[in-house]
RNA sequence: UGCCUGAUAGUAUAAUGGUAGUACGACUGUUUUUGGUGCAGUUUGUCUUGGUUCGAAUCCAGGUCGGGCAACCA
């Protein structure tokens, strides 16, 4: 078990800091804004932040970055907590930036007293214009030279609600000529007469991200504040506030956010999909949200493994979603319980089978020697998959065809003797004969067949609905595609099989587990499933080299 | 056009001046009562031009290309 895994650049920084005695132990944080559901990109950040603390014996706080009351809701807070827990992580403390509003307000006052912040009466457009452009310095306005006393009074009046939204803002007084636009006197407090999901109506002024995040990090003694690349320009500001306020010097480090093929990874776009009913909700199994993946049947361990495999670096990336699917299959192959379900039934009559029927046994999981077996009823009439028969088979087709033999999984070898067509030329029935000596487990027939089919006994079959999912978008790089991302939605991303036939064992199974429907893929019971109406989601298909072969031939 | 960032097989990610490796993918073969799984193997790479050096993916300089920055969002 002593596999040496190389460190990512953040782990290297942490190890160097620890080795240098800069910190006794580390503190990280996962800081979502509660304005939407978490997605797989957040999972990467969660695994990184919690993983760092786990690996180096530190702790991780869950901190809600709730500084914008108009977009944030308790529903989101709850879903985020649920998702982090489900992913398998425990936070040291559940914290909120809003817990620190008093302290942050105090920081602002201190800045004003030091002459490093001022109240600006300009409109948002005026401020934008006065900021200049990246190649042109900004210009100061008359408010910039207000005295500390005047600013103190004005800021207090802002807090007391004497002004309307947008009438005034508090700005840090830094450098209007900085090449970093964020240093050109950034707004640090704005007026919002809005109800906050935690502080209610106590405040009508709220700190901006830049005046809340680093401050919260400092208050919590966060040693390594890890965020994504787009915050690189914020680092200069982050450090400026820490220096001027003489608070705990948290350090910000940035890594590249996760992008994945055939999907979107922004809360704004995900919200749009939900609101405009392109999906059924945040937990629609096609969504890249944690809750969607959970509902679809992705194991938490598979998501963690995926996050581990993609690594941490600073280069922009577009990860192939098939890597995630690989991780899901890898996990489920070891754990999923095998069952047989026929999606598109074709009746097979075993003409020489004279018995009443019998109970056969089949292993629950060939990968797990301790997995046990379940009972599978067999009888004269069974269903097989319609595409497991071809009237005129191609040369490498190992399934049923006139005169061709296959094994029925865990049962007998059968031979197709005849088939019946209706008036329209559709095949309605297969007539086969079975080889009595070929019974699974006690086969003395000496016959070797190339194909093995899944099947269900017609008399014992139970109905089930099966939902098949495909990628939500039909272009690889959705974010880079021209125009509206919604133009690329795959309208065939959901296929419902309303009347599949399942083997009866499935009725007794506990529904929290992952299933493999033999030769069909991995499935899980959907939350819509009831004892009288089973509903399953296809988590991911099996690797299908035959389909690939067929495609090549076509 | 200014500033900030980055560039290693198809996709990711290592090698931290000394043999370019790993995973996924693709392709072979093999095993298999899942055309699944497993096993074995093959394949493909240092953006570019110079420089430093015995030796450069790594250090330096120029170029090229990608991403970000001018929200009272985070």
What percent of chain A shows pLDDT beyond 90? 96
Q: Are strands A381-385 and A456-457 parallel, antiparallel or unpaired?
A: antiparallel
Q: Which of A427, A517, A424 is nearest to A416 (CA)?
A: A427
Q: Is the CB of A136 under 7 A from strand B?
A: no
Give the model's pLDDT for residue A552: 79
Q: Which two tokens stand for residue A77?
A: 């807070």
Q: Return the SS3 of A522.
A: strand
Q: How far is the CA of A4 from the C1' of B20 (A)?
A: 18
Q: How far is the CA of A6 from the C1' of B56 (A)?
A: 22
Q: Interhelix angle for A40-56 vs A9-19, to 10°?
A: 20
Maximum separation of any 2 CA atoms in chain A, in Å = 102
Give the model's pLDDT for residue A554: 65
Q: Is the CB of A262 under 7 A from strand B?
A: no
Is residue A61 a contact partner of residue A26, using CB atoms and an 8 Å limit? no
DSSP letters, A246-309, are: T----EEEEEPPP-BTTS---HHHHHHHHHTTSSSSTT-TTSSBHHHHHHHT--HHHHHHHHHH
Please give the nucleotide, over all strands, whose C1' is closest to the CA of residue A133: B70
Residues 148-187 of A with CB under 7 A from strand B: 165-169, 179-182, 187
Q: Is the CB of A320 under 7 A from strand B?
A: yes
Q: Which two tokens stand for residue A393?
A: 């088979």
CA distances from A194 to A95, A122, A201, A377 (A): 21, 21, 7, 64
Q: What are the backbone angles phi and psi of residue A313, rounded to the nearest 5°?
A: -155, -175
Opening angle at CA A198, ends A193 and A200, nearest 5: 40
Residues 441-460 of A with CB under 7 A from strand B: 441, 443, 451-454
pLDDT in tens, A494-541: 999 999 999 999 998 877 889 999 999 999 999 999 999 999 999 999
| Residue A98 DSSP class | G
Residues of A taking part in catalysis: 33, 257, 267
Please give the nucleotide, over all strands, whose C1' is closest to the CA of residue A363: B33
Q: How far is the CA of A509 from the C1' of B64 (A)?
A: 60
Q: How far is the CA of A3 from the C1' of B22 (A)?
A: 12
Q: Is the CB of A147 under 7 A from strand B?
A: no
Please give the nucleotide, over all strands, whose C1' is closest to the CA of residue A398: B35
Q: Is the CB of A321 under 7 A from strand B?
A: no
Give the model's pLDDT for residue A220: 98
Per the listing, tokens 């995926």 go with: A306
| Residue A149 DSSP class | H
Q: Which of A202, A268, A212 is nearest to A65 (CA)?
A: A212
The Cα A343–Cα A358 span in angstroms is 23
Q: Is the CB of A304 under 7 A from strand B?
A: no
Question: How many other CB atoms are found less than 10 A from the CB of residue A91?
Answer: 20
Give the model's pLDDT for residue A497: 98
Per CA to C1' distance, which residue is closest to B15? A6
ipTM of the complex: 0.97
Give the model's pLDDT for residue A80: 98
The Cα A272–Cα A127 span in angstroms is 30
The Cα A533–Cα A525 span in angstroms is 11
Residues 185-224 of A with CB under 7 A from strand B: 187, 190-192, 206, 208-209, 212-213
Q: Is the CB of A346 under 7 A from strand B?
A: no
Please give the nucleotide, over all strands, whose C1' is closest to the CA of residue A323: B24
Per CA to C1' distance, which residue is closest to B22? A5
Which residues of chain A fall short of a pLDDT of 50? 1-3
DSSP letters, A8-66, are: PHHHHHHHHHHHTTS-SS-EEEE---SSS--BHHHHHHHHHHHHHHHHHT-EEEEEE--
The pTM of this model reads 0.96
Is residue A330 a contact partner of residue A305, using CB atoms and an 8 Å limit? yes
Please give the nucleotide, over all strands, whose C1' is closest to the CA of residue A230: B68
CA distances from A7 to A258, A298, A318, A479, A550 (A): 18, 27, 21, 30, 43
Residues 27-86 of A with CB under 7 A from strand B: 33, 65, 67-68, 71
Measured to protein CB atoms, the chain B nucleotides within 7 Å are 1-8, 10-16, 21, 23-27, 33-38, 66-74
The Cα A207–Cα A190 span in angstroms is 7
Q: How far is the CA of A45 from the C1' of B55 (A)?
A: 40
Per CA to C1' distance, which residue is closest to B68? A230
Q: How far is the CA of A70 from the C1' of B60 (A)?
A: 51
Q: How far is the CA of A107 from the C1' of B57 (A)?
A: 47
Give the model's pLDDT for residue A2: 35
Q: Is the CB of A550 under 7 A from strand B?
A: no
Q: Is the CB of A311 under 7 A from strand B?
A: yes
The Cα A377–Cα A79 span in angstroms is 43
Q: Is the CB of A248 under 7 A from strand B?
A: no
Give the model's pLDDT for residue A352: 97
């Amino acid at each position: 078990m002593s596999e040496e895994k190389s460190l990512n650049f953040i782990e290297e920084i942490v190890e160097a800091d620890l080795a240098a005695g800069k910190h006794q132990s580390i503190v990280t944080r996962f800081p979502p804004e509660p304005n939407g559901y978490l997605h797989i990109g957040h999972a990467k950040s969660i695994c990184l932040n919690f993983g760092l603390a786990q690996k180096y014996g530190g702790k991780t706080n869950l901190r809600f970055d709730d500084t914008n009351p108009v977009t944030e809701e308790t529903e989101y807070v709850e879903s985020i907590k649920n998702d982090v827990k489900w992913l398998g992580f425990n936070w040291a403390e559940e914290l909120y930036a809003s817990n620190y509003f008093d302290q942050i307000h105090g920081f602002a006052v201190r800045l004003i007293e030091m002459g490093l912040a001022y109240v600006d009466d300009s409109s948002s457009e005026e401020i934008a214009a006065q900021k200049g452009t990246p190649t042109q310095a900004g210009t100061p306005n008359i408010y910039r030279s207000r005295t500390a006393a005047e600013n103190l009074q004005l800021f207090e009046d802002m807090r007391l609600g004497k002004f309307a939204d947008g009438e005034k803002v508090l700005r840090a007084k830094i450098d209007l000529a900085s090449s970093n636009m964020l240093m050109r006197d950034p707004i640090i407090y704005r007026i919002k007469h809005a109800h906050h999901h935690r502080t209610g109506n106590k405040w009508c002024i709220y700190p901006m991200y830049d005046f809340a995040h680093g401050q919260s990090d400092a208050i919590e003694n966060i040693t390594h504040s890890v965020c994504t690349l787009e915050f690189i320009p914020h680092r200069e500001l982050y450090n400026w506030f820490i220096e001027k306020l003489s608070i705990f010097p948290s350090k910000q480090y940035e890594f590249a956010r996760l992008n994945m093929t055939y999907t979107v990874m922004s809360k704004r776009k995900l919200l749009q999909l939900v609101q405009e009913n392109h999906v059924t909700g945040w937990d629609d199994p096609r969504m890249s949200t944690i809750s969607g993946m959970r509902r679809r049947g992705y194991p938490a361990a598979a998501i963690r493994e995926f996050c581990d495999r993609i690594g941490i670096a600073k280069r922009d990336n577009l990860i192939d979603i098939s890597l995630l699917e690989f991780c899901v299959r890898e996990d489920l192959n070891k754990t999923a319980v095998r069952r047989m379900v026929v999606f598109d039934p074709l009746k097979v009559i075993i003409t020489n089978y004279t018995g009443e029927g019998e109970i056969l046994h089949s292993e629950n999981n060939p990968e797990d020697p301790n997995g046990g077996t379940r009972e599978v009823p067999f009888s004269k009439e069974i269903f097989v998959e319609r595409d497991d028969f071809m009237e005129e088979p191609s040369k490498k087709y190992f399934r049923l065809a006139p005169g061709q033999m296959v094994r029925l999984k865990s049962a007998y070898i059968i031979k197709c003797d005849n088939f019946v067509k209706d008036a329209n030329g559709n095949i309605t029935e297969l007539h086969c004969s079975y080889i009595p000596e070929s019974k699974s487990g006690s086969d003395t027939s000496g016959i070797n067949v190339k194909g093995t089919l899944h099947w269900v006994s017609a008399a014992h079959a139970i109905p089930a609905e099966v939902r098949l999912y495909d990628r939500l978008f039909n272009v690889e790089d959705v974010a880079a595609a021209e125009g509206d991302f919604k133009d690329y939605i795959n309208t065939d991303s959901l296929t419902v099989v309303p009347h599949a036939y399942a083997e009866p064992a499935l009725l007794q199974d506990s529904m929290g587990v992952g299933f493999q429907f033999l030769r069909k893929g991995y499935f899980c019971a959907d939350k819509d499933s009831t004892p009288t109406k089973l509903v399953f989601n296809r988590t991911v298909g099996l690797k299908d080299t035959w389909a690939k072969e067929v495609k090549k031939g076509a």
